Amino acid sequence: MRRRTFLAVPAMGAAATATLLTGRADPHIFRHTDGYYYCTATVPEYDRIILRRTSTLQGLAGASESVIWRRHAGGDMGAHIWAPEIHFINGKWYIYFAAGRSNDVWRIRMWVLENSADAFTGTWTEKGRIVTHADTFSLDATTFAYNGTRYLAWAQQDPTIGNNSSLFLAPMSNPWTISGTPARLSVPTLSWETKGHKVNEAPSVLIRNGRVFLTYSASATDSNYCMGMLTAPVTANLMNPASWSKRQQPVFRSNAATSQYGPGHNSFTVSEDGQSDILVYHDRSYRDISGDPLGDPNRRTRIQKLYWNADGTPNFGIPVPDGVTPYRFRSYNFPDRYIRQVSFRGRIDADMTNLAESQFRMVTGLAGSGTVSLESTSNPGYYLRNRNYEIWLDKSDGTTGFKNGASFTRRAGQADPATATDRADATFHLE
């Protein structure tokens, strides 16, 4: 059996971790043209808007945090400061957020701040409330531009239906004003959208491969919270609800094997090298919550690489375990094929729609001495190992034989002193 060697080209750097910030929900990370990542999120006190800035995604974990705005002492914007998003539009900074009224905390509406200077040192001016078609519960505003038009997407209670919130879209005449009649794109009707509450909220948009992908979150904010997706062709009229198709199953949901629960309220950013899309979301590391989930302060901001299927659709995989982020090992010789495990056997296959089967955490080798071991993402505690000159995925039993069989030497790509074909067969890219 040939020795396998690896050529590393990771998207987020070696030993990157998925969990960036504790106690920060509804995360939004925006990469500006100045090369910095700007990160804001909901704080568990629901009383202020915070901002961090660093040149790397992992750097956000240790970056200083500034309070750029606090809730009002009374009246509108006096309670439940939720889900801020930061955007740079026409040379100015804007933050979209939701807020309740001090004497009616569930009177949630959408508001906008503007800053024409530095996001940290400039003055944030209140531009007012985003007025929509109805004066009802509304939140989670996000904005994107396409084909010369800027749009606002958001969640709002529709009094004609009676659910908690549906998804709406409208063009904008300026960064704080919508124009025309909003289009209702999605109503929570599927079983996974209505657990605890009937919710479609937290839209986020990614435009790739000739399509507009709009992700959203559904159900109550406990372990039932999950992500769905709408898709429209880029040639379609985005304001026509018929242009959008809804996935009938969640694209991202709780995973007991990795101890990740309630993943959702996502945004998207890009890796430092600009080559990879990054999924940003929050979740919890435990399932059971006492009382109202909104009173639980332990949602965390997490990131992981977003992969793409051969048909050009995003593959979210599963929320990865805590610790170092996993990689896929792509064959040098057959670029459409990856190392994977199927029924606890190691294989190299193409068309990896079951993403987690091809994701492994590269951890310190069980045998030590400068080696690495490859731990399964979907089955933590299980490792790829050499057993009788075959590759298996087995649970560690702690024996010396297992540690040696599950430990590999990491070398530069194409390092085998054999034929050119052997060298190519024994080389993999990390991604």
Choose among 214, 195, 192: nearest CA to 205. 214
The one catalytic residue in 26, 272, 283, 375 is 26
- Structure tokens that stand for 159 in this block: 């009094």
- How many Å apart are CA 59 and CA 55, to the nearest integer? 7
Plot region of 174 (φ>0 → left; ψ -120 to 50 → alpha; else → beta) = beta
- How many Å apart are CA 360 and CA 350, to the nearest integer? 16
Q: What is the dihedral of CA 169, 170, 174, 175, to 10 degrees?
A: -10
CA 339 to chain CA centroid, Å, is: 24
Residue with tokens 């809730």, as numbered in its chain: 71
The helix (H) or strand (E) run that includes residue 420 is helix 420-425
- How many Å apart are CA 217 and CA 228, to the nearest integer? 6
Q: Tell me the CA distances in angstroms from 124 to 56, 120, 141, 142, one per residue in order.
A: 25, 9, 18, 18
Q: Can 201 be counted among the known catalytic residues?
A: yes
Contact 232, 238 (CB under 8 A): yes
The helix (H) or strand (E) run that includes residue 345 is strand 345-350
The one catalytic residue in 85, 193, 201, 222 is 201
Number of other residues whose CB lies within 10 A of the CB of residue 236:
14
Q: Which residues, in sequence order, are bridge partners of residue 150?
A: 145
Choose among 251, 219, 247: nearest CA to 231. 247
User: For 216, what's the count of Cα atoms within 13 Å in the CB-facing half-sphere?
Assistant: 34
What single DSSP character describes residue 56? Answer: S
Q: Can 26 be counted among the known catalytic residues?
A: yes
Q: Which residues, in sequence order, are bridge partners of residue 360?
A: 327, 376
- Structure tokens that stand for 112 in this block: 């906008």
Just list the catalytic residues: 26, 201
